[in-house]
């Protein structure tokens, strides 16, 4: 299966056309801050399947709204399979999600928010 792209710019532009560029940046900052908190929470404790499923559900939809396709696809996998994965596999998936979010964060800071912009 082909790996989804990190970023689908057309989706982001659609959102931008609807909310205006300022409005979109405002919501994007919320997303990045909110997802950062979730990643920190993942890192801090033993993985809980139901919690990761719930967060995966949320990240899946929000990431797709901005066009962050790779992150959305990984979150979807977690939502579908988190409760049945072994702790080792779950740990690998969460790490892959964290790395994908790191790439999103870099891209957002470099291209969408402007350099030096704080996330939240």
Partner 1 sequence: MRTMLRNTAQSKGRLLVVDDDLVHQTIIGKIGARLGYDAVIASTLEMAAELLQQEAFDIMVLDLSLGEHDGIELLRLAAQRKLYAMPIVIVSGCDERIMNSTRRVAEGLNLFLAACLTKPLNLDSLRDALCLPARGRIESNRAAPPPEVSRERIVAALANNEFSVEFQPKIDLVTDKAVGAEALVRWWTPDFGWLSPAIFIPVVEQFDLMPDLTNQVLSIAIASGRRLIERHPGFVLAVNISGSSMNDLTLPERIESILRAEGVAPESLIVEVTESVAMSDVDRATDILVRLRLKGVGAAIDDFGTGFSSLVALAHLPFSELKIDKSFVKGCETNEDMVKIVEASAALGKAFNMKVVAEGIDSPATLARVRQAGCDVGQGYLFAPSLRPERIDRWMTQRNAEGANHASMFEPRLQVANRFLGRGM
69 vs 94, beta carbon nearer partner 1:
69
In angstroms, what is the minimal distance from the CB of 30 to partner 1? 5
SS3 track for 47-103: CCHHHHHHHHHHHHHHHHHHCCHHHHHHHHHHHHHCCCCCHHHHHHHHHHHHHHHHH
Smallest gap from residue 76 Cβ to partner 1 (A): 9
Joined tokens for residue 60: 């899946």
Nearer to partner 1, 26 or 83 (CB): 26
Residue 116, classed as helix, strand or coil, is coil
User: Please, what is the minimum distance in Å from the beta carbon of residue 100 to partner 1?
Assistant: 17
If the CB atoms of residues 15 and 96 are measured against partner 1, the closer one turns out to be: 15
| Backbone phi, psi, residue 45, to 5° | -135, 175
Which spans of this chain sit near partner 1 (rule: CB under 8 A)?
Answer: 14-15, 18-19, 23, 26-27, 30-31, 34, 54, 57-58, 60-62, 64-65, 72
């Amino acid at each position: 299966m082909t790996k989804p792209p990190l970023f689908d710019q057309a989706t982001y532009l659609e959102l931008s056309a609807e909310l205006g560029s300022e409005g979109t940046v405002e919501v994007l900052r919320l997303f990045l801050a909110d997802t950062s908190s979730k990643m920190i929470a993942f890192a801090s404790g033993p993985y809980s399947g139901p919690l990761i499923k719930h967060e995966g559900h949320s990240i899946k939809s929000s990431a797709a709204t901005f066009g962050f396709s790779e992150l959305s696809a990984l979150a979807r996998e977690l939502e579908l399979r988190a409760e049945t994965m072994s702790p080792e596999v779950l740990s690998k998936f969460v790490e892959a999600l964290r790395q994908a979010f790191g790439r999103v964060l870099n891209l957002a800071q470099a291209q969408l928010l402007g350099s030096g912009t704080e996330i939240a």
